[in-house]
Amino acid sequence: MNSPHPSGQALFYFGASHHNCPIDLRERLAVTDERWAETLKAVTQEAGLREYVLLNTCNRVEFYGIGTADAAQLASRRFFAHQGFSEEQASAVCRESVNKGVLTHLISVASGIDSQMLGETEILGQVKDAYARAVTEQTVGPVLNRAFQKTFQYAKYVRSHTAITEGQISVANVAVDLAAKIFGQLKHVRVLLLGAGDIGEKTAKAFQSRGAAAATVSSRTLERSMELARQYGGAALPWENFEAHLGSFDIVVCSTAAPHSVVSTEAVRSAMSGRISQPLFFIDLALPRDVEPEVAGLDNVFVYNLDDLARIAEENLAAREAEIGRASAMIQEKAGALWDQLVPLLARK
């Protein structure tokens, strides 16, 4: 990492994202809720960090902190080692920066410029959630408070003053567009949503807007499944029963927060035995992935994950490419102004 502030303290970040870390490696880096506290303890214990925030999304795992250069390097080594990466593997996927470069990166992330799908709308909320969790856990102080709060303001500015968010760029919309290309009219297509969180809700809304019949919802919390099903005129399916009913659906949208796959190859093979000449289409929006990789090898079964959807979304990129330069210039200006505000805060003991 580069030189710290003259006080010895630096604003730093390290992590990995879709840019050079494929989905199978991002699965290994992902920090589940069950391992959140354990991971943070392993990374930060006795590292001498003043403040820190962990950002964990489907496309990136990034650690933002305040500390000496030695503390930042120690935290980075500990994180990748804790996730089972060798030093060589970590070096291949790790991205890092300090001071103003961190702010440029963070604003780019929050505004959607650094996203796998340029301009996607979910990321700002995910960054806000990561910051809110750090506030609750009392791991942030004056530097990161100012950095993140100003980042939210600047991200909204970039979005509203450029056209980077134009077009079908959300994960939900891209997924529904893909389903429409495969099945044509969606009116009679039977849809199962596995997971009743935010992305599941957005996907249900996107399917409904394209004429699909009401979706069936299944999640580990039956009450939440029923709530989402009622909202969109669908039905709830108890979680323990969904595998037995896979053959009844044409499209299965997976977006659970499970730490491992929930759709087994054997269950899909059994479902296909009753679907003669009828394809079964999985849209796997989860990380770690909900669908076992071997499912894609079954006859007449189609599986698309986050990286697949991103490649499809690139077709819509041309209309927004011209905006990247304008947005980047804005971000550089905002990052410089914010860094000037943070310098005196870094100097405080």
**pLDDT per position in the chain (349 positions), as tens?**
445 555 588 999 999 999 999 999 999 999 988 899 999 999 998 888 999 999 999 899 999 999 999 999 999 999 999 999 999 999 999 999 999 999 999 999 999 999 887 777 789 999 999 999 999 999 999 999 999 999 999 999 998 888 777 655 667 778 888 888 888 888 888 999 999 878 777 887 888 888 887 789 999 999 988 988 888 788 999 999 999 999 999 999 999 989 999 999 999 999 999 888 888 999 998 989 999 999 999 999 999 998 888 877 766 566 567 778 889 999 999 999 999 999 999 887 5
Q: At a CB cut-off of 8 Å and minimum separation 6, what does 19 contact? A: 95, 114
Lookup: tokens for 258: 């499970």
Catalogue the active-site residues.
58
Lookup: tokens for 179: 């389903």
Q: At a CB cut-off of 8 Å and minimum separation 6, what does 81 contact? A: 90
CB-count burial class (<10 Å; 0-12, 13-18, 19+) for 205: middle
Four-CA torsion 90, 149, 114, 78, nearest 10 degrees:
0
| Residue 51 to residue 71: CA distance in whole angstroms | 11
Alpha helices in 94-197 (DSSP H): 100-111, 122-136, 142-161, 171-183
Report which of 262, 309, 311, 251 is spatially closest to residue 285, judged by C-alpha positions: 309
| Residue 271 to residue 283: CA distance in whole angstroms | 16
Whole-number pLDDT of residue 169: 61
Whole-number pLDDT of residue 2: 47
